[in-house]
Structure 1
Amino acid sequence: MHVVMTAAGLGRVEDGAVAVLDTPYPDAGTLIEQTGSLESLAAARVVRRVPLTEDEVLPPLPRPRALWGVGLNYRCKAETTGRPLPDEPILYLAAPSSLGAPGSPVRVPSGRTAELDYEAEIAVVLGRPLYRAAASEAWDAVAAVTAANDLTARDVMRATAAPVLAKSFPGFTALGASLLGRDEIADSAAIGVRAWVNGEPRQDATSAAMIFPIPELLSRVSWYAALRPGDVVLTGTPAGTGQDLGAFLTPGDTVRVEVDGVLPLTNRISA
């Protein structure tokens, strides 16, 4: 199931358009929290069809319960930065108020950062509770995946050593623009993720290059915290960030993130 939220309502993406559905759920986040997946939309009646345009797409998860992230989870990123591979995931939480919508501008926090960086990531949305789970059980608890731009103030990170502060400014966790149901993903180790800045390609990798594959990452998180339906886990970013290239974002820049199977996530940086 490929699901998008527009001003016309919750719908399926079909043949380049949105089939708006007759459903009691106001958004995909509520649907996942109450049913555990996107599958109930498969039988929903189509109310009407509307064109699919990026400027009318709304956040598919307007109220995420928790935003988990991992600090280093791609071998190419470790090689580029000269860091050893971690034995355990470097985990953090970002404030839910950092959620950013697809297409919305992201404001540079005035006086707080001169090193605003993009991070293209695969975001995983939990559909079932997960606690002290084995890796073999974890993928079945996933409801959907989407694209994420996990923006980071690198200088704030250095100064505070606190990822939660470097990543929790408003709009810094951009998610969307659509959700792809788990059953549509043939292999959790073969999901592509890419980023462009002002049309220039910067990042290009797949989940096969992860240090901790998605099921193992979810399992390891679950041994420290009980994950709940509606929680979002960002799974790390590959090499090619501004940190790697010495090229940070400035007002006027546009970042485009693509994850296989979902609509592109585009955000513009503003002053």
Structure 2
Amino acid sequence: MTSEGLGRVEDDAVAVLDTPYADAGALIEATGSLDALASAKVVRRTPLDETELLAPVPRPRALWGIGLNYHSKAKRAGRSVPTEPVLYLASPSSVSGPGDEVRLPAEQTAEMDYEAEIAVVIGRTLDRADEADAWPAVAAVTAANDMTCRDVMKRTGWPVLAKSFPGFTPLGASLLSRDRVPGPDAIGVRSWVRGEARQDSTSADMIFSIPELLARISRYAVLRPGDVVLTGTPAGTGQDRGDFLRPGDTVRVEIDGVLPLTTRVRA
């Protein structure tokens, strides 16, 4: 999504499209996929580096997350591998876009952290679904930075409070349609902080695969088109390193096939 509407990335340019949808989330809610963009008329083309990119799903119906879902993270933290996913909902008002500045809520936290994650956008309703039906119900994937105040989580016991500060869920900078993803177990995820590589893993290291995670959520709550599910983060977070975010820091998250997601921290 750009400031001018929906667009399609074409090499080093963005083809702005003639479409009635305000954002990709609205398109997916209405049609279940990004397919309609393939035949949309191109209104204009703008250089990618001159285009303002926004969160592709700025107002998800629901925003799900999982607490511990990478073997590397469990090993680094010295924790047992869970037999049930630790699930939570965060406030959709926490969503921000690529390049946005996110305020460090210093009055609440001294442990603001980053979490590079694969975000899944649901395209078809999942209600008590089987794993075999879960991946085909995905419309697209994108990058997420599931920012977390670790001390707020310890103090309150509520992930939703630790993760719902304004801007704490950056999404973007583009969507990759599911049919262009090699598979749910073949998605790379990486992060950099202050230009230093921090996380480097793939979805193959997940404790609960993406299809299993979606199926498990659907046993308890219906997943609908436009919902966003964050799928966990690998080892290398600030919590693992004892090095939390500070004003002036830049976090860069990369998911295979998706434009980089950059977030700046301000005082």
Q: TM class by shorter-chain length?
A: over 0.9
- Runs of 4+ in structure 1 off by over 2 angstroms are none
Alignment of 1:32-47 (within 5 A): 32-47=28-43
Quote how far apart the aligned CAs of 1:158 are: 0.5
Give the 3-state SS of the residue equivalent to 1:174 in structure 2.
Answer: strand
Matches within 5 A, 1:221-260: 221-260=217-256
- Identify the residue that residue 20 of structure 2 maps to in structure 1: 24
For residues 237 and 113 of structure 2, the distance between their equivalents in structure 1, rounded to whole angstroms, comes to 7
| Counterpart pick for 1:117 among 113, 127, 130 | 113
Q: Map residues 1-271 of structure 1 onto 2, 5 A cutoff.
A: 5-53=1-49, 56-271=52-267
Q: Secondary structure at the match of 1:223?
A: helix
- Which residue identity lines up with residue 118 of structure 1 in the other structure? Y
**Aligned in 2, Cα 1:54/1:123: closer, same or farther, shift over 3 Å?**
farther
How far apart are 1:27 and its partner, in Å? 0.9
Structure 1, unaligned runs of 5 or more: none
CA offsets per residue over residues 32-53 of structure 1, 9 Å max, x none?
0000000011011111111112
CA shift for structure 1 position 58 = 1.2
Q: How far apart are the structure 2 equivalents of 1:153 and 1:33? A: 31
Q: What's the CA shift string for 1:187-211, capped at 9, x where partnerless? A: 1100000000011000000000000
Q: What SS does structure 2 have at the residue aligned with 1:6?
A: coil
Q: Do the aligned partners of 1:54 and 1:103 also contact (CA within 8 Å) in 2?
A: no
What secondary structure is seen at the aligned counterpart in 2 of 1:196?
strand
Matched to 2:213, the amino acid is: L
Q: Is the 8 A contact 2:117 2:231 kept in 1?
A: yes
Aligned mates of 2:82, 2:96 — CA distance in 1: 29
Report the RMSD for the aligned CA atoms in angstroms: 0.9
Cα deviation per residue 1:143-177 (whole Å; 9 max; x = unaligned)?
A: 00000000000000111111001001001111111
Deviates more, 1:58-67 or 1:142-151: 58-67
Distance in 1, Cα, partners of 2:11 & 2:247: 35
Q: Counterparts of 2:266 and 2:50 in 1: how far apart (Å)?
A: 18
Q: Shift of residue 25 of structure 1?
A: 1.1
Whether the 8 Å contact between 2:146 and 2:163 is mirrored in structure 1 is yes
Compare 10-19 and 144-153 and name the one that shifted more: 10-19
**What CA distance in whole angstroms lies between the structure 2 residues aligned with 1:257 and 1:197?**
9
**Unaligned 5+ residue runs, structure 2?**
none
Q: Distance in 2 between matches of 1:181 and 1:150?
A: 21
Equivalents in 1 of 2:181, 2:252: separation in Å? 22
Q: Distance in 2 between matches of 1:46 and 1:146?
A: 23
Residues of 2 paired with 1:110 and 1:143: CA distance?
Answer: 37
Contact 2:2 2:51 in 1 (8 A): no
CA contact (8 A) 1:55 1:103 kept: no
State the distance in 1 between where 2:241 and 2:216 align.
31
Relative to the length of structure 1, the TM-score reads: 0.97
Distance in 1, matches of 2:78 and 2:55, equals 36
